[in-house]
Amino acid sequence: LYYQVLNFAMIVSSALMIWKGLIVVTGSESPIVVVLSGSMEPAFHRGDLLFLTNFHNDPIRAGEIVVFKVEGRDIPIVHRVIKIHEKENGDIKFLTKGDNNEVDDRGLYKEGQNWLEKKDVVGRARGFLPYVGMVTIIMNDYPKFKVCV
Amino acid sequence: LRKNVEDFTGPRERSDLGFVTFDITADILNGKKCIFDWNVKQLFVYLSVEYSTKNNALNQVVLWDKVILRGDNPRLYLKDMKSKYLFFDDGNGLKGNKNITFTLSWNVVPNAGILPLVTGSGHVSVPFPDTYETTKSY
C-alpha cells in the first residue's frame, strides 16, 4: 500500500509540475482553455481546446484572438480584437467581439467600461484542438479549465 | 490585391466617425498552391485600417470581416461595400488625417493546430478630408 500511495503521489506531482511549467513557459495563468459557447463559430465550437501564450512584449493587434477577464469576474472570455488605440508609451485600449455575435463585447464589460486594457488579457490563442475539451464540459468540475467563451 | 476607397468624415459628439466605401479584389493563396489544404477549416478575412493620431500613436480598426469556409472560393470580388462596423476614432484624429492605411488580413483556422494570422501583401493609403460632412447620408 505504501508503494501505491507513493506511486500515486509521483503521478500527481508530475502532472502538477508539467502544468506549472506550461504556465511559466507560455506566460499565461491559464495556458489551456476549453471553449464553452458558440460565440466564435464557425472557427471554434463548444468543447474545443485552445492553447494560449501571454508574452508581455507581444503587441495586441486588431484581428488577434485574445482571452480576457472582465474586472471582478472570474470567467475568461475568448473573442477577437476589432479595435485598438495605442499611445506612444505603449498604453493600449482595445475592443473585442465574438465572430458569431452581432454586437461587440461592450455589453459584457463592467458597468461603464468601454475598453479593455493589457492587464485584462489572460493570453492570445495560438493553437487549438477540436472536441478534446468535451471531456471537461462533461465532467464540469475542474476549476483549472473553467472558461467561458 | 487591390482596394479602392472613397470616404468622408461625419461629426459626432466627441469622436470622429469615418465613412468608407470600398472595393476589394483579392485572391488568397498559400504561395502557389490553394490555401485550403487538408488542415484548413476556414479563413476569417478582415479589412482593417491603421493610422496615427495626435492622441494615439497607433490605431487599428476592423471595418469589415467575412468567414470563408473550406469549399468556398477564396477569391473576393466586392464592389461598393460599406464598412460593417462603425469607424469611430478615439478623439478627433480622422479629420485631415493624411494617412489612413487599409490592409486585408486573414486568420487561418486549422482543423487542429496553430492559428496563424496572415497579412495580405499590398495596401492602400488614403487621406481623410479636412472638413466634416453634414449633409451626405450613408
By DSSP bridging, strand B40-51 and strand B58-69 are antiparallel
**pLDDT band with cut points at 50, 70 and 90 for residue A148:** very low
Instruction: Please state, in angstroms and rounded to a whole number, the distance separating the CA atoms of residues A121 and A77.
Output: 9
Give me A104's grid cell: 461587440
- What CATH number is given for A1-147 in this structure? 2.10.109.10
Q: How far away is chain B from the Cα of A126, in angstroms, using its nearest Cα?
A: 5
Q: Which residues of A are catalytic?
A: 39, 79, 105
Q: Which residues of A touch B88 (CB under 8 A)?
A: 83
- Count other Cβ atoms within 10 Å, centred on residue B111: 13
Give the three cell numbers for residue A29: 495563468
- Between B29 and A106, the more confident residue is A106
Instruction: Say if residue A128's pLDDT is above 50.
Output: yes
Residue type, B57: A
Q: Which amino acid is at B93?
A: G
Interface residue B112 vs chain A (CB under 8 A): yes
C-alpha cell at B103: 490592409
pLDDT > 70? residue B104: yes
Bridge partners, residue A116, by sequence: A94
Separation CA A42–CA B109 (nearest Å): 10
C-beta of residue A83 within 8 angstroms of C-beta of residue A97: no
Say how many CB pairs under 8 Å bridge A and B: 73
Give the range with max mean pLDDT: A37-41, A81-85, B17-21, B96-100.
Answer: A81-85
B110 pLDDT tier (thresholds 50, 70, 90): confident
Q: What number is the average pLDDT over the span B98-112? A: 79
The mean-pLDDT minimum among B1-10, B55-64, B82-91 falls in B1-10
Least reliable range by pLDDT among A51-65, A81-95, B107-121: B107-121
Confidence of residue A76 (pLDDT cuts 50, 70, 90): confident
Looking at residue B121, what is its pLDDT? Answer: 64
Of B98 and A86, more confident = A86
Q: What share of chain A is helix, strand, coil (3-state, %, to 5)?
A: 25, 30, 45
Beta-carbon separation of B57 and A87 below 8 A:
yes
pLDDT for the residue numbered B132: 62
User: Per-residue pLDDT tens for A42-73?
Assistant: 888 888 888 888 887 778 888 888 888 888 77
Average pLDDT, chain A: 81
* Chain B residues lying within 8 Å of A47, measured CB to CB: none
pLDDT at B36 over 50: yes
Question: Which residues on B lie below 8 Å from A43 (Cβ)?
Answer: 41-42, 44, 67, 107, 109
| A8 has a pLDDT exceeding 60 | yes
Beta bridge partners of B47: B64, B104
- B62:A43 CB<8 A: no
pLDDT at residue B31 is higher than 70: no
Q: Chain A residues within 8 A (CB-CB) of chain B?
A: 42-43, 61-65, 80, 82-88, 93, 99, 104, 125-130
- Residue A127 with chain B: CB contacts under 8 Å: 113-115
